[in-house]
Amino acid sequence: MIVIYSKEDLIEEIQDLKNLNQSIGFVPTMGALHNGHISLVRESVHKCDLTIVSIFVNPTQFNDKKDLEKYPRTLDADLKLLENTGCKYVFYPNEKDMYPSSDLRTFDFGPLENVMEGKHRPGHFNGVAQIVSKLFDVVKPDWVFFGQKDFQQVAIIRRLIDMMNYKIQLVSCPIIREENGLAMSSRNERLNLKERENAALIFKTLTKYSNLSDSYCVEDMKALIRKEINKSPFLDVEYIELVNENTLEAVNQWTNEFNIYACIAVHCGNVRLIDNVKFNL
Ligand code: AMP
């Protein structure tokens, strides 16, 4: 495994790989890696001739500067975790390299960005699109791997690939969870034991109600989920939405015409957690 620290070095390396007709799989991350990230890497290693993982805590996608400051940075542990996965290159650029000058581009994702994370974290997806497009331009991947944990992000990146005419296949990988059901996240490291235990209620509640669409209308369902999670003194639901998997539009009645997902953001202590579960209709 080779660690590359500069854009120029990576561009040179990629050119050689392209000349050899190697298919390139790419997994962008912000580090503090866990088994959720590793599942994406393994999928890429399985599908592609070689895999590149980037580690970069992207400042432009943080709407909350405190969150950016507190974001865990654990390069040594990350490299250890990647060592036996088959990942060939780790790209670890610094901020100046990715943003030699401030990125003034704005992306318009229309209705996809006006709900859920986009609505509650203004500018977040514009920052995501800025860094992801920069990384795609450098890495020139054939395949990219994103986690369904960031449900809305997958839809946004799909749209970005379409908008920018990238010849890239996107693979959306299932959510990897802790034993208690909590979706793995780099931010979980900031939860204390009690918070971590309580956070399990998020997935437990979503799963329970995902089988009860016969019993409640959409509005009641959202209210019940919110109420049940908020019963824990450690948890505070920011939003709960039931959405069309493709358009991310909120549904107001049950239908079999498309998949419906419950998407949620919950504050647990100082940590903001997101999760989603497919509803069975
Ligand atoms: P991040 O480092 O948080 O930007 O995440 C990098 C990638 O890993 C994104 O595509 C995430 O959706 C994905 N990811 C994060 N947590 C998980 C998880 N628990 N299961 C699957 N994928 C995940």
- Say what the pLDDT of residue 50 is: 97
CB 159 within 8 A of CB 109: yes
Going by alpha carbons, the residue nearest to atom 13 of ligand 1 is 147
Whether ligand 1 lies within 6 angstroms of the CB of 141 is answered as no
Query: DSSP readout, 53-110?
Result: EEE---GGG-SSHHHHHHS---HHHHHHHHHTTT--EEE---HHHH-SS--------G
Task: Band the pLDDT of 2: cuts 50, 70, 90.
Answer: very high
Whether ligand 1 lies within 6 angstroms of the CB of 39 is answered as yes
- Say what the pLDDT of residue 140 is: 97
User: What single DSSP character describes residue 183?
Assistant: B
- Say what the pLDDT of residue 259 is: 97
Whether ligand 1 lies within 6 angstroms of the CB of 183 is answered as yes
Whether ligand 1 lies within 6 angstroms of the CB of 144 is answered as no
Whole-number mean pLDDT of the chain? 97
Q: Distance from the CA of 37 to the center of ligand 1, in angstroms? A: 5
Report the residue count for the chain: 281
Percent of the chain with pLDDT over 70: 100
11/28 Cα distance (integer angstroms): 16
Closest CA to 224 of 210, 181, 198, 182: 210
**HEC string for 243-257:** EECCCCCECCCCCCC
Pull the structure tokens for residue 165: 């005419």
Whether ligand 1 lies within 6 angstroms of the CB of 173 is answered as yes
- Say what the pLDDT of residue 78 is: 98
Q: Pick the atom of ligand 1 nearest to 153's CA.
A: 12
SS3 265: strand
Strands (E), the chain: 2-4, 24-29, 50-55, 89-91, 143-147, 169-173, 235-244, 260-268, 271-278
- Say what the pLDDT of residue 93 is: 98
Q: For the chain, how many helices (H) and strands (E)?
A: 10, 9
Whether ligand 1 lies within 6 angstroms of the CB of 150 is answered as yes
Q: Distance from the CA of 253 to the center of ligand 1, in angstroms? A: 30
Q: Pick the atom of ligand 1 nearest to 37's CA.
A: 8
120 an active-site residue? no
78/49 Cα distance (integer angstroms): 22
For residues 150-174, give the mean pLDDT. Answer: 98
Task: Band the pLDDT of 94: cuts 50, 70, 90.
Answer: very high
**What contacts 8, CB < 8 A, 6 or more positions away?**
none
Residue to probe by mutation, ligand 1, list 27, 40, 41, 173, most atoms within 8 Å of CB: 40
Task: Band the pLDDT of 111: cuts 50, 70, 90.
Answer: very high
What is the radius of gyration, based on Cα positions, of the chain? Answer: 19
- Say what the pLDDT of residue 203 is: 98
For residues 186-211, give the mean pLDDT. Answer: 97
210/278 Cα distance (integer angstroms): 7
Q: Pick the atom of ligand 1 nearest to 183's CA.
A: 19
Q: Distance from the CA of 35 to the center of ligand 1, in angstroms? A: 9
* 143-147 and 24-29 beta bridge pairing: parallel
244/225 Cα distance (integer angstroms): 18
Task: Band the pLDDT of 132: cuts 50, 70, 90.
Answer: very high
Q: Among residues 34, 37, 120, 124, which one is catalytic?
A: 37
CA distances from 185 to 2, 182, 247 (A): 25, 9, 25
Task: Band the pLDDT of 33: cuts 50, 70, 90.
Answer: very high
For residues 122-130, give the mean pLDDT. Answer: 97
CB 131 within 8 A of CB 61: yes
Closest CA to 266 of 242, 223, 237, 228: 237
pLDDT tens digits, 232-271:
999 999 999 999 999 999 999 999 999 999 999 999 999 9
Whether ligand 1 lies within 6 angstroms of the CB of 185 is answered as yes
Buried-exposed string 14-37: b where 16+ CB fall within 10 A, e elsewhere: beebeeeeebbbbbbbbbbbbebb
pLDDT tens digits, 35-61:
999 999 999 999 999 999 999 999 999
Give this prediction's pTM.
Answer: 0.97
Residue to probe by mutation, ligand 1, list 29, 33, 35, 37, most atoms within 8 Å of CB: 37
